[in-house]
Structure formats: structure tokens, C-alpha cells
Structure 1
């Protein structure tokens, strides 16, 4: 599988604010994921082909808080295996 350059090293992932998020659910064309660490708040991301994703799979997201109640989410792609957390967390740090 091809990965984007910014996904390939820990330094680049940190520099670009990329984290691995587990897909918690898929509703219609939306992927549901845990938004923040230490929070039950969930985010929704619309995708054109939800059938390509599976619940429990990790995707790389760039989540930027734009205000107290708003955020911007960019889907980077599937998470490379070496960045998937092995301890059961829903978000890799």
C-alpha cells in the first residue's frame, strides 16, 4: 500500500499533527471516530466510498481545532502498521 510522505516517519507525523484514529462506527457515508484524547467526544468524517473502510481499522487524520466548538478534519489515509497502537487505545499519540 502506498502512503503519503508525511505519514512515513514519527517526526513528519508530529510536525504535521497527524494521528492514527480508530474507526468506531460507519453511518451512511460517515466515519465515526474519537475526536480528542481523554474525551468521549466523537467526530464524523464524510467519505465518498465508506465500503472501503472497516470498523476498528485505523486511519490517519489531521484534526485542527478552529474555535472552542469547531474543528477541521483532514483524512490523510490508512495508518501504516508501525503507527497503530498495540495497547488498545482509539487514538495513537
Structure 2
């Protein structure tokens, strides 16, 4: 490593996904143009496949399961329909999710 120079590499993300028991991602639910960020299949290079356990967005909190995304809590003022419209991946709501 050279001080003051940028070095290409994967940074600390690989350490995070390979050295912990649980990974929870904090993110905005949609991109700036309104497109879904929670999708069925990722088109970008993955740091680790199948390592994310949960996601907390500005709209809801959800678990990542083999069947898809499972919402367990909605942000204040959000509805199930609004979450469904802004999510591209497989989505279900846990009993009592509000």
C-alpha cells in the first residue's frame, strides 16, 4: 500500500461477509429515480452470495429467507401496497407486520 494513493481492491466488505454470523444491510428502499433496489436477482458483482440475513430500509424492515423477502415491520405511514409496488423481489408479510 502506498500512502496517499488509491489501491484497487474489495475493501472491508469481504471481511464483513465472511467473518460474521449475521449481516444486516441498511439502505434506501428505492434508487433516486424510483426504481426498486430490492430485486429478485442482482445484476452487479456480489461480495458474497446468500450472506445477507436482513435489510432495514426507509420503508420497512425485512428478513431475507430462501423464499424471498419477509417484511416484519413497516415504517410509519407506509402500507403493504406501497412496499409491494417498490419491491421487485419475492415479497411476503409476516403475520402482524404493521
Q: Which has the greater radius of gyration?
A: 2
TM-score, structure 2 as length reference:
0.23
Higher relative contact order at CA 8 Å, sep ≥6: structure 1 or structure 2?
1
TM-score, structure 1 as length reference:
0.24
Instruction: Write 1 or 2 for the structure with the bigger share of strand.
Output: 1
